[in-house]
Every structure is written in structure tokens, then in C-alpha cells.
Structure 1
Amino acid sequence: MNAAQVMNLSQLLRQTATLFPTLPAVIHGEARWNWREIDQRVDAMAHALTRLGLKKGDRILVQSRNTLELFESCWVAFRLGCVWVPTNYRLTPGEVAYLAESSGARAMIFEGVFQDHARACRAASGRLEHLVAIGHAEPGQLSYQALVDQHMGQRFPSATVGYGDPLWFFYTSGTTGKPKAAVLTHGQMAFVVTNHLADLIPGTTEKDCSIAVAPLSHGAGIHALLNVARGAATVLPTSERLDPGEVWRLVEQHRVTNLFTVPTIVKLLVEHPAVDAYDHSSVRYIVYAGAPMYRADQKYALKKLGKVLVQYFGLGEVTGCITVLPPYLHTPDDPDPGYPVGSCGRPRVGMEIAILDDDLTPLPPGEIGEICCRGPAVFAGYYNNEQANESAFRGGWFHTGDIGRLDDKGFLYITGRQSDMYISGGSNVYPREVEEVILTHPAVEEVAVVGVRDEQWGEVGVAVVVLRKGHDHTSPDELFAHLDGKCAKYRWPKRFVFWDALPKSGYGKITKKDVKRLLQESGEIELEQA
């Protein structure tokens, strides 16, 4: 494709800085920076990295909590025509070293508190030439702020790019095997930003404000692009871990209108007493993704917040752009027949969804199979991983690995991950369907159902339950009685296990591989056969 037909995504920042130079862009505690300052700082760092020898196509690894520099670093990479490679800051030094080596990063920007990560990356990758520290820089390292100061005031022209030129390596969570780098491109992301603005936070302007309650390295970073495109400020909480009290205080203080999060964080926010202590009437959109929200949690959130929930479905490989369920399709009441309760929404404009069987044959409405999609939001492929690409793009579709069905109106319903499904007595069991019923019991706070080996049935379910405070005496018999008449018996878990908490990823999702591992380590289930 002719490169003149593609805008370098960093122009979103440039255009906003030109339109609204003095309006707030980033707010962190008492500090705030306007759009002109952010744009100038990005130019300065782009000049500095160019002087160090970085060029179009080079990868820049970033290890940081939600900071001003993390917020800026993507725009630096985009403007250079380089590839932004952000990490989940909770990863270990060894895990980040793998990302440095597998991505072929030439430079690493990192917070000074992650010196062990920086050393591990340098040791693992012979291509990593430059370590740029946010905060304290040790000998042999460069200071981020010093580089900005040295080049401040020098305007940097955005690199000319093509539609398929990469701008972001979006690493998968690595639920099976090593993480894979999904290659996001300038052309693809121009479509995604436009689509997200239309479907997720329509009508957003420079008068709006967002708050980052999840790491900017992944889904919240995509959401930040939308706010930059419209000139809406982003508030960065000062707490390293999610503090619902601080979040609601900042919502009231800055009149926050939108935020991106995941269902487990929505649950934490609305069940915290602070939700009633601060004014959150400014909020228009709470966008949640990463997993469907259980109906019981959805109804409670709507009761507390009103009709502000927006759900979308889509993996990092499709940057969340597969379906949308807008606020008017969220209801706290028992709806009329045909209302899409439990759906994650309708197809996004320009995107096509199909439910395929094992032979890649599209299935009719109501039948369960793998959720597949195609359209301009689909990524370019996995970096340096042809085997994964062959599997992901079979039959001209992107295969999500999620299981679900479409109804006769085209609304999508997710049943679970392919890896979550188990076969008991010859019947497929999708844990999510059972979890939904268990969660309607008033004593249950959270639940995860996993399939384990069983000599009689092949596999059976084990339900790990976290009880609400004051319900410590709830028994398995009570939960089995609750299932009676609400769920086919072949789907019932064979037994219930009670824990104080469920393991979660850095993005707040329950990690079932860790649930199963902890069950094995505690002796609750036998070790899986290799």
C-alpha cells in the first residue's frame, strides 16, 4: 500500500497538542503536564534516541509502572517509526529478559526500581545496546530526564510509515507456553482508534477526563490512545496497587468521565464503601473487557453506577475490536424476551464474526464452536513465529481460542476458553455456564471451575469458591442444592473447595492454570499426567 495513504499514529498527539496546547494532558498527584509539554518531551526523546542510533523498525522495551514516562514512551516509539514493546511491570526479571531477547529490542526504558530487570535483559540479549532509566541511573545507563532536557525545543518530524509497518508488540499473557508478540501496525491501529472512539466512548472531547486504573502497557494503553486523540486528560493514580478509595476520590476531584478496566476491578470498585462516599455522577463510560462480567456482578454495578457500562470483546491480537455491548443494552432488571442477557455484544463496524467447528465450517445460530473473526482490526501476525501464525489464521479467519455461540440477531455469547472446556462422561462442559449459576448464591464472592482427571467420568469439575464475609459456614451441600434445577447435573462440579482468594493475573483476570496448579500443590487433586 502507498505509504502516503497511512498516517503515523503519533500524529494524534501532534494534532491534539496543536489544537489544545495548554489544556491538561496527564495528571499525577499534584503534578500536571499540558499537551504542548507532552508533545515537546516526546520530540526531545525522539531526538535523543536518534542520536543514539535508533532507527525506524527498531524495538524499544519499556518496563515501568503507570508513569508520565510510560505514557510518553509509546508516542516516542511511534514518532520514530520504532516498535513499542511494553511489559507487564509485575513480571520477574527473567520473564522480562525473555521479552527483551525475543523482541530483539535495541533500547530499554525502565523505572529505576527495576534495576534487576534491566541487568537481566542486558545479560540475556546481545542486541540490547542502551538502558535508559526513569529516575536514578546507574553507571553505564542513561537518564531519561537528562536526555529530554538536552534536546528540549527540537521539533522531530514523524517517520513516514506504511499500513503494515509495526508500531507495537502486544505480548500475549502466555497462558500456554511462552508469551507471543502480536504485531500491531499503524494502519490497523488507525482503524481501531476510530472504531473504539465511535463504539466505546462516543462524543468524547477535550472537556472529558479519563483515569488509568489498569496498566498502560496493555488494554488501558489502547484506551489512552483514544483520549489523546480527543484531547481528554488522563489521571494516573499514585498508588502502586489498585486503591478503590483513591480511585473514587480522583473521579470526584477531576470529574472523570471514562475509564477502562476488567470485570474483577469493576467488582472491587463498586463493592468498596468509597463508591458511596464520593460523587461519581460525572462518569459516562466504564469500559470493561478481558472477560465477560458475571450477570450477578453486572446487575450490582448497574445498581451502583447507573447505565454507564460498556463491554467489548477482543483479544490483544485484535486490540479488543470484535464486539461491543453499549450502555443501553446493559440492564439491571429482568429484561423482555429476546434481550441479549449474557451477551458480550454485536459485531463492531467493519468486523465479521463466525462460529466455526473443527472442520472450519461456519455453524448456525445457537450452536457452540470456536469464535473467529476477520476485518481491519486483526493484527499482522505473531513476530517471528510462523507456527503460531499458521494456527491462528487457518481458513482465512483469526482463531480466538474462545468458545461461544451467536444468536439469530448476531449477538455473541462466550462460553469459555477452549482450554477451559472439559469432557465429562462424553459431554462437553463449559465452566463459565456453571460459574454463572454458582455466583447467584448470596454467599459466593468468586468462583472458578476447572476440569480434572477422573477414573470413572474421564474428567470432572472442581469448583474453587471464595465466600463473602459472614458466610463462613456455607457448606458444599448448600451449593449443590443451589444448583439443583438451575443447571444440568452433568455440568455440576464433583466437589467444592473453599479458598480465601483466587489467583489473578496482573490485569485482574482469574488465572485458571494457577487455580489448577495450586489445587495440585495442596493435594486437593492428583497431578495431571504429562
Structure 2
Amino acid sequence: MFIFEKLYDFLKEKIFAATGEMIVLNLGTVFECAVGRYPNEIALVQDKKYVSFLQLNEEVNRLASALRKLGVKKRDRVMVLMKNRMETVCLFWAIQKLGAIYTPINLRFSPEDTQYCINDAEPRVVFYEKFSERSVIKARFNERPILISLEQDGGDLSYRELAVRGASDFDCVPSDDDDIAVMLYTSGTTGVPKGVPRSHKNEYGSTMAHILQNHYEMFESTLGAMPLYHTMGVRSLLATCILNGKYVLLPDFDTRTALTLLSREKISCLYMIPTMYHELLNDPSISDFDLSALRKIGYAGAPMSVPLTKKCFQMLKPQHFVNHYGSTEIYTFTTCSVLDKKPGCAGRPGIHQQIRLVVPDTNAASTPDDIVLPGEVGEIIVHAGSIEAFKGYWNRPDATRKAIRNNWYFTGDLGILDEDGDLFIVGRVDEIVISGGENISPVEIEEVLLHHPKVLEAAVLGEEDDRWGQIVVAFIVTKDPTMTVQELDQFCKEHPKLSNFKRPRKYVFVHEIPKSPAGKILRRQLRSENIEQVGQ
């Protein structure tokens, strides 16, 4: 069951027997091993610039030594608000060599959410670029960090000014495998971002599982399409490094550039959210590109529709196609690689995992022993004792107690097992919306909508969408019949508390919103009722 826990311990024992030293396989060591194995293999590509593992290591060392001169030490948080660039990758590895904690922020967060994350993490340093400058500069810090800009004239100093201060040699700071390597922020099932600290062991184990589950081999190449503030992006980077593969950077996802890179760089594997596959396969020029090198594809982050799954098979002709169901907190829950037979299926537990389906309870009163009968819908829970599992949220013992009970992680997802024992996801306990791989809380959006002077009541839910997985739909009871969709949408666009990706993409004006006797919105009833749509 726990194959890589055993492999991890086995490797450490072998190294100890050979060297007389107990070596911890932290991420800094993992990177240095890759550099030592194949120093001249291409590690990174951006635009038409090619960087070998040896060249990458020299830049990483300069950054690590320069950051140490700035006072960054082991366990310090280093926050990164940057797109997928060479500089971001170099920072990731420099932070690992320092024993510090790579703490990226979702670039789609609102300025208010960004400020919250900065003050929650209390980073020693914040790196940013032009795209994220406004959120950083306008933030009110509880304790001001050092600000480093990618631009030459921004921040306390620029990225390049920092790099030239460092040396090309740097000794990796020893870190225990339970030390925190990465902290990602997720909206989770509430509107408040939560820090998810993940140890070196978590990241190593998750990456090895990812390699096995996707059938990756040495020297694979991949497109760095998923952002490096997302667990899928970090996983692609780590897997490619461990395999001495080529990681092709894509700072901004657009289909024409993605197709060009897939063809030109002969990329062999791809790991993206369904939205990206939808856009890629619907580009009218896709037939002009040679994608024959692409052999292995996978998706995660959101459900993929049956038509899109079939289109992936028809147009990309993968040798291996995986649906990966997991989370930031515990990387793998289940995987399915028989999507030709069972499109949309989440499959069976990952190599480290045990799952159960228990009685759903929005009040967090269910226990791991409240298992549902075969064929019944239940909340999916995952054992929290595996090498891939986090130990708890940053500064949020309340959220940790709710999520982890008796060493089981309660996902909030609803699922059902078919007659073969394969898992299918059927919804959410709390009706969270997953759009484009992002978790969106209906309650958060409802609170914003209710601030509009013409809105009496509001209810938000997700509607299936072939491109985004789900889109946010807002049902509105108005106080004033002059209210228009355009007026309400403009209000949401300008509201400081609402990130743009959370904004409703559809508004439905209704006469009433169904509620339980206790006043709780009956979202499922709202979805199923044939409600008169006014003002569309």
C-alpha cells in the first residue's frame, strides 16, 4: 500500500551504507542529484532560450546565496507572485536549497485576498512582477517584508540586482524530510484562503506517485502550462526535474503559443485542467501542428465532460490518459486510466491511499465509521496518514479540526462507487463551485451580491460547462424591477472583495429562492426546478 514510504526509507538506508552519512531526500538534494546525473541535459526552455541543468544550478546558487545575505534563513517564508518564468523556477529551487518555504500566491486573487495571504504567511521576502505589482504595492502589511521586483526600477531591489550579488557555489542547507518545503494557498470550501504547508516528504512522495500514475519515464518533456502557485504546476516541475526532463515555460496560456511549443519542442506529456484542453482542441489551427510526440496526457482540478474526454482521445491519440482526483492537502485521492471505457470516472485509490464514502454532513458531525451502503452517495474521505498528506492548515486549527477527523481527511466531495468499485464524483456537500480548476464559495459571492441596493435575495450555484467544468450562476430576487443583468455584472466586476474568476457568468432573476424550514437555501431544488428566467 505505502510503496514509496518504503522506497524512501530504503534509499536513505542505501545512501547511509555507502557514505556513512544519513542523507535526507529533501527537494534541494533532489535537485542537486538531477544536476549531478545529467548536467548538460536541457532543463528549461522559455521563448527560444535553452538552459541546461548545470546552468540552472549556477543561477539557483546565486539566488540562494544572495537571499541568505538578505537574512533569509531556514523555515522563512518567501512569497512569489510571478507567472511561470525562468525566474520563478530558479526561485523555487533556491528557496529549497536555503531550507526556506516556497509560498506562491494565486495571481487571480483579489488585492484583498492577496493582502490577507501576505499577512497570514508573514514572509521575509515578496517577489512580484508587473502583473501583480498593484496587489503588492497597495497591501497594508502587518510587518513589511523585503519587496523584490522583476522590473528593474521596482521594489526595494530588482531580481537581477539580487542575482548578481550571489555566488555560483552554494552548499544546500540541511533540511529534515518533515520540514516544510512549500506552502500553497487554496480557497478550499470557504471564501478565506487557507495556507497548506507541505513537507519535503509530502512533495517527494506525491511526485513519485505522479510519475508512476502517469507512466512517466526518464527525459520526459512537458509544457509548464499550470501555474506554479497551483499544486499541479509544482508537480509537473518536480516530476520533470527528477526525470532530468525538459520543462517548457508558458507564462501566459494561449492556444496558439501552446500548440507551437508542443510541436516545436516535441513535448511528450501534458498535465492540465479540462478548460485548457477545451481551448487547445477548439483552436481552428490545431491541424497545422505536429503533436505526434505527445504520448501521455492527464487532467485534474475539475470534472471533464464526456464529449471533451472523447475529443481528447480522437484528436491527441494518447497512449496513456489519466484523470487525477486529488487536492492541495493530499495530492492523490484516486486515479482513472480507463477513460475510454469510463469517461468522467475518478477510478480507484492512488498508490498511497485509502478512501471511504461516509454519510454526508455539512455540520462536520460524521465520523470515518459512518460508512454508506454499497451504491449509496456518500462524502469521500481519504486517510490522512500517507506520505502525500499535509498535517494541517497554517494558522487555522479550526479548519484543520473540521477537515481532519480521526486521521481521515474529509474532502467535502460527494461520490458513488459503481459495480466495479470505481469512484464517480457527483457533487459537493457544501455545493462549492469548481470553475477552471478554482474552488469558489457560493456564500462568498452571495454576500457580495446582497450588498447591491436592488438585490433582496441571492443564491449561487455551479452549472455544468464544457469549457470551464462549471460556471458560476447567480439566482436573484430583486427589490427593484428596474435591475438589469448588465448593472449587476458591473457591480461584481468593480467589487474589491470579489476576484474576477469568482464573478457570476450567468444571472437568473427569479420570484423566490427555495429554502428549508430553517431558512437554508435549497440549492439542489433551485437547480432542478424549472425557474422562470427573467432579464436574461
**Same fold flag (TM > 0.5):** yes
Q: In structure 2, how many angstroms separate the alpha carbons of the residues matched to 1:144 and 1:447? A: 38
- The equivalent of 1:475 in structure 2 is none
- The equivalent of 1:150 in structure 2 is 165
- The equivalent of 1:193 in structure 2 is 207
Q: In structure 2, how many angstroms separate the alpha carbons of the residues matched to 1:184 and 1:255? A: 32
Deviation at 1:86, TM superposition (A): 0.5
The Cα RMSD (Å) is 3.1
Equivalent pair of 2:275/2:468 in contact (CA under 8 Å) = no
Deviation at 1:222, TM superposition (A): 1.8
- Change in CA separation of 1:296 and 1:91 when aligned onto 2, cut-off 3 Å: same
Tell me if 1:63 matches 2:81.
yes
Q: In structure 2, how many angstroms separate the alpha carbons of the residues matched to 1:176 and 1:134? A: 32
Question: SS at the partner of 1:299?
Answer: helix
Tell me if 1:135 matches 2:151.
yes
Tell me if 1:367 matches 2:348.
no
- The equivalent of 1:28 in structure 2 is 46
Equivalent pair of 1:292/1:344 in contact (CA under 8 Å) = no
- The equivalent of 1:469 in structure 2 is none
Which amino acid counterpart does residue 235 of structure 1 have in structure 2? V
- The equivalent of 2:142 in structure 1 is 125
Question: SS at the partner of 1:183?
Answer: strand
Which amino acid counterpart does residue 98 of structure 1 have in structure 2? Y
Question: SS at the partner of 2:290?
Answer: coil
- The equivalent of 2:504 in structure 1 is 515
- The equivalent of 2:387 in structure 1 is 376
Which amino acid counterpart does residue 209 of structure 1 have in structure 2? S
Identify the structure with bigger relative contact order (alpha carbons < 8 Å, sequence gap 6+).
2
Q: In structure 1, how many angstroms separate the alpha carbons of the residues matched to 2:116 and 2:199? A: 22
Equivalent pair of 1:6/1:162 in contact (CA under 8 Å) = yes
Deviation at 1:58, TM superposition (A): 0.6
User: Which of 158, 169, 174 does residue 160 from structure 1 map onto?
Assistant: 174
Tell me if 1:212 matches 2:204.
no
- The equivalent of 1:287 in structure 2 is 298
Deviation at 1:55, TM superposition (A): 1.0
Tell me if 1:77 matches 2:114.
no
User: Which of 206, 218, 221 does residue 234 from structure 2 map onto?
Assistant: 221
Deviation readout 1:293-338 (Å, 9 max, x if unpaired): 111211122111113422100011112x111112xx121xxx5xxx
- Change in CA separation of 1:388 and 1:4 when aligned onto 2, cut-off 3 Å: farther
More moved, 2-11 vs 402-411:
2-11
User: Which of 387, 399, 410 does residue 398 from structure 2 map onto?
Assistant: 387
Tell me if 1:258 matches 2:269.
yes
Equivalent pair of 2:475/2:509 in contact (CA under 8 Å) = no
Equivalent pair of 2:222/2:236 in contact (CA under 8 Å) = no
Equivalent pair of 2:273/2:300 in contact (CA under 8 Å) = yes
Map 1:490-529 to 2 at 5 A: 514-515=503-504, 519=507, 523=509
Q: Where does structure 2 lack aligned partners over 5 or more consecutive residues? A: 1-8, 13-20, 434-460, 478-488, 494-499, 521-536
Deviation readout 1:184-230 (Å, 9 max, x if unpaired): 11111111111111112x24212x21112221211212211100111
User: Which of 46, 59, 81 does residue 41 from structure 1 map onto?
Assistant: 59
Equivalent pair of 2:201/2:388 in contact (CA under 8 Å) = no
Q: In structure 1, how many angstroms separate the alpha carbons of the residues matched to 2:472 and 2:415? A: 17
Equivalent pair of 2:309/2:343 in contact (CA under 8 Å) = no
Q: In structure 2, how many angstroms separate the alpha carbons of the residues matched to 1:523 and 1:203? A: 49
Deviation at 1:5, TM superposition (A): 6.4
Q: Where does structure 1 lack aligned partners over 5 or more consecutive residues? A: 423-430, 455-498, 504-509
Which amino acid counterpart does residue 408 of structure 2 have in structure 1? W
Which amino acid counterpart does residue 325 of structure 2 have in structure 1? F
Equivalent pair of 1:6/1:186 in contact (CA under 8 Å) = no
Q: In structure 1, how many angstroms separate the alpha carbons of the residues matched to 2:60 and 2:468? A: 44
Q: In structure 1, how many angstroms separate the alpha carbons of the residues matched to 2:428 and 2:406? A: 20
Question: SS at the partner of 1:318?
Answer: coil
Equivalent pair of 2:379/2:411 in contact (CA under 8 Å) = yes
Q: In structure 1, how many angstroms separate the alpha carbons of the residues matched to 2:475 and 2:48? A: 51
Equivalent pair of 1:57/1:166 in contact (CA under 8 Å) = yes
Deviation at 1:183, TM superposition (A): 1.0
Deviation at 1:8, TM superposition (A): 1.5
TM-score, structure 2 length as denominator? 0.76
Equivalent pair of 1:244/1:274 in contact (CA under 8 Å) = no
Deviation readout 1:440-480 (Å, 9 max, x if unpaired): xxxx99865869699xxxxxxxxxxxxxxxxxxxxxxxxxx
- Change in CA separation of 1:399 and 1:117 when aligned onto 2, cut-off 3 Å: same
Q: In structure 1, how many angstroms separate the alpha carbons of the residues matched to 2:112 and 2:431? A: 27
- Change in CA separation of 1:82 and 1:243 when aligned onto 2, cut-off 3 Å: same
Tell me if 1:272 matches 2:289.
no
- Change in CA separation of 1:364 and 1:40 when aligned onto 2, cut-off 3 Å: farther
Deviation at 1:108, TM superposition (A): 0.7
Equivalent pair of 2:148/2:159 in contact (CA under 8 Å) = yes
